[in-house]
A and B are shown apart, each in its own frame.
Chain A
């Protein structure tokens, strides 16, 4: 059976990727996961300088999901280059760096710094709901989305994935804008903005009031959006949002995703990527699917 896929000219041994922010830079998962069996590790958001992140509480559970307000805490691109790239390069897997920024200049700074770094993809996160300074504005405004994509593409030396926000009226409009801006691929969906109130204390649970909802609760929204985007633009798609099983991953591929990313499931079970890979193989075997690429967008 062939599980190999190609995203913007880069060959992945299988479609399994990790969703940014749910896999750190892999270190915490080394005791649980054979990293050589992951198609591509997408690391947590990296900014040009260290970011503190938000105060606790940053996490709250909801029915079938969770809301996070981590706020892109990260030690900055220099530490990432020095410590995380050499760690990940011990394994036979591809590396994608998730770029965090508040302004076009910040995004450009981190992408430029990574130009000489040994990584396989850049993933431009214009959709994080957890930063106030305007990260969201890029993801929900087509014109801004195009501008930031163009600016980063100009300095990027690796294929550029742009990560789309589901918190928009029409996701296809943003997808078209980043395609026009020069993106090589898109990934979706980032988290949906949500909130929870402690009715006994009469206050919000998260320190930031609202955060990003992820997990199985959001999967139907994600499937719909992947399908819509796949029907609109020609770029390869990395699909994510609530993938817990191999069957979920197959569903995303049938909706039009070439790669799939496992997010919240990693937090609930550090072995999730391995289980999902096994389950995908079993599904292929049972259905007589020889090449995984044959099912991509099959419903379109």
Chain B
């Protein structure tokens, strides 16, 4: 075992693991040390009980409850690992390591207008961010069909919802809604790559600052394997270098990201 002065995986008790909508679940973990350290936009590694599933599953921290020493995670079933998580029951233990990543950057006394943009399972980390950001907040979140986390987000600002099938809110994707409403502000975004690409273009066109939270397949989550790279602008022959999403990100300035 690692000595007490060294960090290691923590066996966390599952306080709650409930179904939200469709394939989406929320897990609440008892882990005071992670809750103390974590900031908005960071993620944790969850490890499967199944011995054949070796790699960590990186999941963003949706909400941090520092008082009770808990973190909330919202995840969608995407494959075997997340399906395994959904089968866990209250009181069970799960191995967790983190928090990892740089998180969103903002000054605590920050008062400017912000535009918070999420797509699908990119939405969860925006809840903690919306909670912590001051100033006027406009929140735009897009889903394939059934939205989630909307009530929580509404506590912190005006929320616009888009759905691909038009079943709730605006029919279409989030960038189309941004265009239509002409929304402005400093952008914080997390979601699938095509959405982030659109957000970057929108930010460019309207001369807005933007921070984008990216996703990539990870081998370790803490910078050990250089597996999770993304292209970042640099003065090289090709115009970019590869940076680690887990350590240098997951949040990058939109200007640095090469899609």
Interface residues of A (CB under 8 A from B): 21-24, 27-29, 31-34, 44, 52-53, 55-61, 63-66, 68, 70, 73, 215-216, 264, 266-271, 274-275, 278
Q: Do B226 and A70 touch (CB < 8 A)? A: yes
In the complex formed, the residue of A with least CB distance to B9 is: A269
| Interface of B, helix, strand, loop or mixed by DSSP | loop
Q: A32-B7, A58-B229, A59-B55 are in contact. Are A275 and B242 (CB under 8 A)?
A: no
CA distance A22 to B225 in the complex (A): 5
Give the distance to chain A from B59, nearest Cβ to Cβ, in Å: 16
Stretch in contact with the other chain, from B84-92, B134-142, B216-224: B216-224
Q: Do B229 and A53 touch (CB < 8 A)? A: yes
Q: A32-B2, A68-B227 are in contact. Are A61 and B9 (CB under 8 A)?
A: no
Task: Kindly list chain B residues whose C-beta atoms are within 8 Å of the C-beta of A33.
Answer: 2, 6
Contact residues, B49-107 vs A (CB, 8 A): 51-56, 97
Q: B228 within 8 Å of A by Cβ?
A: yes
Q: Do B230 and A29 touch (CB < 8 A)? A: no
CA distance A27 to B247 in the complex (A): 12
In the complex formed, the residue of B with least CB distance to A57 is: B217
Task: Kindly list chain B residues whose C-beta atoms are within 8 Å of the C-beta of A29.
Answer: 224
Task: Kindly list chain B residues whose C-beta atoms are within 8 Å of the C-beta of A266.
Answer: 220, 224
Q: B241 within 8 Å of A by Cβ?
A: yes
Closest 6 CB pairs of A and B: A59-B227, A267-B220, A28-B223, A271-B2, A59-B219, A63-B52
In the complex formed, the residue of B with least CB distance to A264 is: B54
Give the distance to chain B from A169, nearest Cβ to Cβ, in Å: 29
Q: Do B226 and A61 touch (CB < 8 A)? A: no
Pairs across A and B, CB under 8 Å, 11 listed:
A23-B224, A44-B226, A53-B226, A56-B217, A58-B217, A59-B55, A59-B217, A70-B226, A270-B97, A271-B8, A278-B1
Task: Kindly list chain A residues whose C-beta atoms are within 8 Å of the C-beta of B2.
Answer: 32-33, 271, 274-275
Q: A68-B225, A271-B9 are in contact. Are A61 and B54 (CB under 8 A)?
A: yes
The residue that A66 contacts in the complex, of B9, B55, B228, with Cβ under 8 A, is B55
Q: A68-B225, A270-B224 are in contact. Are A61 and B6 (CB under 8 A)?
A: no
CA distance A167 to B54 in the complex (A): 23
Q: Do B224 and A24 touch (CB < 8 A)? A: yes
CA distance A267 to B55 in the complex (A): 8
Q: Do A56 and B229 touch (CB < 8 A)? A: yes
Q: Do B52 and A64 touch (CB < 8 A)? A: yes
Task: Kindly list chain A residues whose C-beta atoms are within 8 Å of the C-beta of B222.
Answer: 28, 270
Q: A34-B6, A66-B219, A68-B219 are in contact. Are A61 and B225 (CB under 8 A)?
A: no
Q: Do A73 and B54 touch (CB < 8 A)? A: no
Q: Do B242 and A52 touch (CB < 8 A)? A: yes
Task: Kindly list chain B residues whose C-beta atoms are within 8 Å of the C-beta of A64.
Answer: 51-52, 54
Q: Do B228 and A59 touch (CB < 8 A)? A: yes
CA distance A268 to B221 in the complex (A): 9
Task: Kindly list chain A residues whose C-beta atoms are within 8 Å of the C-beta of B228.
Answer: 56, 58-59
CA distance A65 to B51 in the complex (A): 10
The residue that A52 contacts in the complex, of B6, B223, B241, with Cβ under 8 A, is B241
Q: Do A267 and B224 touch (CB < 8 A)? A: yes
Task: Kindly list chain A residues whose C-beta atoms are within 8 Å of the C-beta of B227.
Answer: 58-59, 68, 70
Give the distance to chain B from A292, nearest Cβ to Cβ, in Å: 21
Task: Kindly list chain B residues whose C-beta atoms are within 8 Å of the C-beta of A270.
Answer: 7-8, 97, 220, 222, 224
Give the distance to chain B from A27, nearest Cβ to Cβ, in Å: 8
CA distance A232 to B71 in the complex (A): 55
CA distance A33 to B8 in the complex (A): 9
CA distance A65 to B229 in the complex (A): 20
CA distance A44 to B8 in the complex (A): 23
Q: Do A56 and B3 touch (CB < 8 A)? A: no
CA distance A53 to B231 in the complex (A): 11
Q: What string of 1s and 0s marks CB contacts (under 8 Å) between B24-53 and chain A?
A: 000000000000000000000001000111
CA distance A28 to B221 in the complex (A): 10
Task: Kindly list chain A residues whose C-beta atoms are within 8 Å of the C-beta of B9.
Answer: 269, 271
Q: Do B55 and A73 touch (CB < 8 A)? A: no
Q: A56-B230, A57-B216, A64-B52 are in contact. Are A274 and B225 (CB under 8 A)?
A: no
Task: Kindly list chain B residues whose C-beta atoms are within 8 Å of the C-beta of A278.
Answer: 1
Task: Kindly list chain B residues whose C-beta atoms are within 8 Å of the C-beta of A215.
Answer: 54
Q: What string of 1s and 0s marks CB contacts (under 8 Å) between B178-197 and chain A?
A: 00000000000000000000
Task: Kindly list chain B residues whose C-beta atoms are within 8 Å of the C-beta of A57.
Answer: 216-217
The residue that B8 contacts in the complex, of A23, A24, A32, A58, with Cβ under 8 A, is A32
Q: Do B53 and A61 touch (CB < 8 A)? A: yes
CA distance A34 to B216 in the complex (A): 30
